Amino acid sequence: MKRPWLLSGLVVALMVAAWAWAARPTPLTVTFFDIGQGDAALIRTPAHQNILIDGGPDDRVAAKLGRALPWTDRTIDLVILSHPHADHVTGLVPVLQHYHVGRVLMTGVLHTAPQYLEFLQLIKDKHIPVTIAQAGQHLALAGGVTLDVLWPTVPYEGQTVPEIHVTTIVNQLRYGSTSVFFTGDLPAEEEGMLVASGTDLRAHILKVGHHGSRTSSSEAFIKAVAPPVAVISVGRRNQYGLPDEDVVARLKRLVPQVFRTDQDGDVTFAYVADHWVRR
């Protein structure tokens, strides 16, 4: 007669333990996924919000999210598509299919890549709210985390642009006295405009532009950001020969620590006691 009560008590205890585990304070973490030749980065805030920047060239990011997030967490609070090239948007399709996405931040630039068109159709079908990115936007996340949009400086919604890279969304994540800089594939000329704008670009972690291509990561830009850590998101033995050896040499000369997803796998940092620690 006592066994049902014991079982009920055990269930309640497990539920309380699960709630306590989910509610526990956690550090801000940033993970640059090893997803091949492309970009995909997950920000997880101390308030358990999930922000995914780009999705890589295939569906690998969905499996990565499954391992990086608690099994009960099927929500991506914000998806950011830096620009609609296949190596950034393709993996976002299964994310929109299998996760609850709270909002999408994108430029709305016109592009005919099939993966991008499928991405747009899913947004429409699932009634996901969209914010069109433009410099000056300040996104306040929970727990004191903010995201500032630094680029593009002009709206691109509904426009056809010969060079999609110039439309790339550039974000700066801020939390207390630290920041992380996400450059997308922004070209060097536009990097120079950011430097000339007088904006404080300093950051503790830099996501290196355009997979280490020589079209990005100018010396003036790296010096303006002055990061102690840089991460290159790049695929093993990719057909483009990236990262460019001159860019790697420049980074190693100017940045104390340089990581590469093709060599280091997933690169995760946690902000603990006012310091970034690699996990």
pLDDT tens digits, residue range 41-50? 999 999 999 9
Q: How far apart are CA 241 and CA 235, in angstroms?
A: 10
β-strands 205-207, 50-53 pairing:
unpaired
Average per-residue pLDDT in the chain?
93
- CA distances to 16, 89, 160, 209, 236 from 242, rounded to whole Å, are 49, 19, 27, 12, 9
Helix or strand holding residue 268 (H, E): strand 267-272
Mean pLDDT of 227-238: 97
Residue 17 reports pLDDT greater than 60 = no
Residue 4 reports pLDDT greater than 90 = no
In CATH, which superfamily holds the domain spanning 27-278?
Ribonuclease Z/Hydroxyacylglutathione hydrolase-like (3.60.15.10)
Percent composition of the chain: helix, strand, coil (DSSP 3-state, to 5): 35, 25, 40
Bridge partners, 171 (sequence order):
149, 182
Listing DSSP states for 195-256 in one string gives HHTT-----SEEE-GGGG-TTS--HHHHHHH--SEEEE---TT-TT-PSPHHHHHHHHHH-S
54 dihedral zone (left: phi>0; alpha: psi -120 to 50; beta): left
Mean pLDDT of 56-74: 96
Q: How far apart are CA 72 and CA 23, in angstroms?
A: 13
Per-residue pLDDT band at 24 (split at 50, 70, 90): low
Tell me the domain boundaries of the chain: 27-278
β-strands 41-44, 28-32 pairing:
antiparallel
Residue 237 reports pLDDT greater than 70 = yes
Residue 52 reports pLDDT greater than 70 = yes
